[in-house]
Amino acid sequence: MKIMNLMFSQGRGGIEQAFVNSAHAIHNFSDFEQLCIIDQKSTVENQLTIPAVKIRQFADWDPIAIYQLHKLIQEFKPDLILCHGNRPLKMTLRVKCFFGLVGTKIVGFCHNFSIKYLLKAGAIISVSKYILENHLLKTGYDKEHAFHIPNMIELKDYQPIALKSRATPLVIGTMGRFVKKKGFEDYIKAIKILVDRGVNIKAILGGGGVEEYNLKILAADLKLDNIVDFIGWVHDKRAFYQQLDLFCLPSREEPFGIIALETLAYGMPMVATRTSGPLEFLVDGENAMLCNHTDPTALANAIEKMLVLSESELHQLIDHGFTTVRQYDLRTVSQQLVTVLRKLNPNRAPFNS
């Protein structure tokens, strides 16, 4: 079977990581022939261990890019086209509209709550069971064409970090794209609450994005210039975690949360908000400390509660985290993905794309 795997975003977030993981899963754990196609400015090339074709595109309606994609499809003749994100999906749907796609099934990967165009795909693979059951299927999308395959991580790439000896200031860290839904505004406000309570802490915020200016202004207004350190995009995650006593995931909305899996894999104690994605594998008091989202006070309370846990209690959380994350190892989830892709082969599947 031939599979074309598409991802045209230029970011460094969860969708990009999920694309890389899917490409490695197909390459290493199946006999499928795979062609990966990425944007010429994509940052994922350094993460891929397999070749990828680059195309230049500036919008999902870019006629030159659509024609280019059509020619690649025509030459490769894929059985399945996997689309990560709305742009590759819309471009592939336009190829189908303009040129036709005989014998090829379009498979949309659902990475977030943006599902409008996913409903036009021949099949859907959702990384979130919650989104699958409460959004996709409730639109009337045929459940025979929709599957839940969680995100995965390559566990052998994550060597656990030894728990730091408690010293002050205690270092709390978070990272991600600086957008509203990631809740970094709530994180900064929670840090302010803790400082006002007399907790001796240092906060690290890694990442970048459209909200960066606003977040820095907020930190300055709250007089946290010497407390909150904006360090830019994190390229060495292990080195980042080695600085920390605690990781915080303050999301207001999180469809899955690969970063939460990575935190568990590194053996880092974690406070996280109760959002739909992480709730599929995080259990309050068992492998993380959870609190309500969009509530800086609740976040501050959870952080403070975590900071006073004994060493044995922290080790228990960490051990439970290791047990959890093993279920999401690339080798385990790859078998689920390969099984679903075989089922979706249009030459075998009982439904049309």
Per-residue pLDDT tens listing for the chain (353 residues):
999 999 998 877 788 989 999 999 999 999 999 999 999 988 888 888 899 999 999 999 999 999 999 999 999 999 999 999 999 999 999 999 999 998 899 999 999 888 999 999 999 999 999 999 999 999 999 999 999 999 999 898 898 999 888 888 999 999 999 999 999 999 999 999 999 999 999 999 999 999 999 999 999 999 999 999 999 999 899 999 999 999 999 999 998 889 999 999 999 999 999 999 999 999 999 999 999 999 999 999 999 999 999 999 999 999 999 999 999 999 999 999 999 999 998 766 444 44
Structure tokens belonging to residue 187:
């994180």
> In the prediction, which pLDDT does 352 show?
43
- Looking at the chain, the domain(s) classified CATH 3.40.50.2000 span 2-152+330-344, 156-328
Q: What is the pLDDT of residue 13?
A: 75
Could you identify the residue written with the tokens 């995965």? 152
Instruction: Classify 170 in phi/psi space as left (phi over 0), alpha (psi -120 to 50) or beta.
Output: beta
Unique residue bearing structure tokens 């999902």: 60
Residues in CB range of 222: below 8 A, 6 or more apart: 188, 189, 192
Q: What distance lies between CA 23 and its chain's CA centroid?
A: 15
According to CATH, the superfamily of the domain at 156-328 is Glycogen Phosphorylase B; (3.40.50.2000)
Task: Look up residue 272 and give its amino acid.
Answer: A
> Is there a contact between 258 and 151 (Cβ–Cβ < 8 Å)?
yes
Pair 48, 36: CB distance under 8 Å: yes
pLDDT at res. 49: 85
H-helix segments, the chain: 14-29, 63-76, 86-99, 129-131, 184-196, 212-221, 237-242, 258-265, 296-307, 311-325, 330-344
CATH top-level class of 2-152+330-344: alpha beta
State the Cα–Cα distance between residues 45 and 52, nearest whole angstrom: 8
Q: Is 257 left (phi over 0), alpha (psi -120 to 50) or beta?
A: left
- Give the pLDDT confidence score for residue 105 in this predicted structure: 96
